[in-house]
Amino acid sequence: MSLWKYTAWDAILVLITLTELGLKIGWAFYAAEAGLAANCLVVLLLILLYFYNFIVVNHEFMHTPFFNAEKLNAIYLVLSSANLMYPMSIIKEGHNFHHIHNNDPLRNGTTQDPTSTWLYGKDGKQEHFVRYALCGFFRQNTPSELKKILPGLRDKSYGKYLYWEIAAAALVCLTIISINWLWFVLGVLPTIYFGWVLTDNQNYFEHHRATNPESRYADSVSYYGKLYNLLWFNEGYHQEHHLKPNCHWKDRPALRTEAEKAFKAQGAYQASLPAMFGFLDKGKNQR
């Protein structure tokens, strides 16, 4: 039996997780002696790695686990939680709501998707992306939101690893604190928050200009730049991803070809820039 469930290229994604985790812990030994410029560069790199791990690596793993062996997937789940310092099972369960309700608009003053861009909007409009991105971390981690998510984990196969994930995340935190608590406070904690901010910004523009939240063929926004999708493992194919969430990243271009007529018929929006730069998109690029 092959080690990899879909492709050995997923090894790159696992390596990226290990790189961030290693840098996060390893730099604790050098931060005190390094200058301000070096520390700032490492923090910036860690923010970008956290963002990449969240929006690409772990997102892919949530939908298409990398390994054939369940034990290896469980180990990676715990490892990923240690790296993000946040249980992946909770992220995955919350993300399920996003795919079930697809950034739904307001109905009766609320949305079913807790990350909907409409939830905190005013006058029938979507929320401004800056406020959405800056507030997302705090909104998604309130006791009331977690109460909605945690009961669902009891019936999920990945829910049984939650305590292992919490323990792994706590172990990483305590390890870094024991080496250099100041690095943890001034270096590591900001990477979590700002990595989350970049992730929410990405999610915002993967849906902001979607032409029809009620249609599975027009509820998201795709960007097809070749270099971006090469480096981001076809993350740009977001409409395709929402159409078939469990379609592996390598198969999304073929899914686009298969569904392109339906996308055009529904008037699906095709972005002219990657989602991270969606605020610069002129908003005129329907298929």
Q: For residue range 21-55, list pLDDT tens digits in order.
A: 999 999 999 999 999 999 999 999 999 999 999 99
State how far the Cα of 205 lies from the Cα of 50, in Å rounded to an integer.
19
Q: What is the token pair recorded at 242?
A: 């929402």
The pLDDT score that the predictor gives to residue 149 is 83
pLDDT band, very low/low/confident/very high, at 182 (cuts 50, 70, 90): very high
- Would the pLDDT of 213 be above 90? no
- Would the pLDDT of 152 be above 80? no
| Domain assignments of the chain as residue spans, ordered by start | 10-205, 206-287
- Would the pLDDT of 194 be above 90? yes
The pLDDT score that the predictor gives to residue 218 is 95
- Size (the chain), residues: 287
Buried b (16+ CB within 10 A) or exposed e, 150-160: eeebeeeebbe
pLDDT band, very low/low/confident/very high, at 81 (cuts 50, 70, 90): very high
Model's pTM, two decimal places? Answer: 0.95
Angle of the 10-26 helix axis to the 70-84 helix axis, nearest 10: 40
Please enumerate in sequence order all residues whose Cβ is within 8 A of that of 266, keeping only pairs 6 or more positions apart, or say none.
211, 212, 215, 217, 218
The pLDDT score that the predictor gives to residue 124 is 86
The pLDDT score that the predictor gives to residue 155 is 74
First to last CA, the chain: 42
Q: For residue range 224-252, list pLDDT tens digits in order.
A: 999 999 999 999 999 999 999 999 999 99
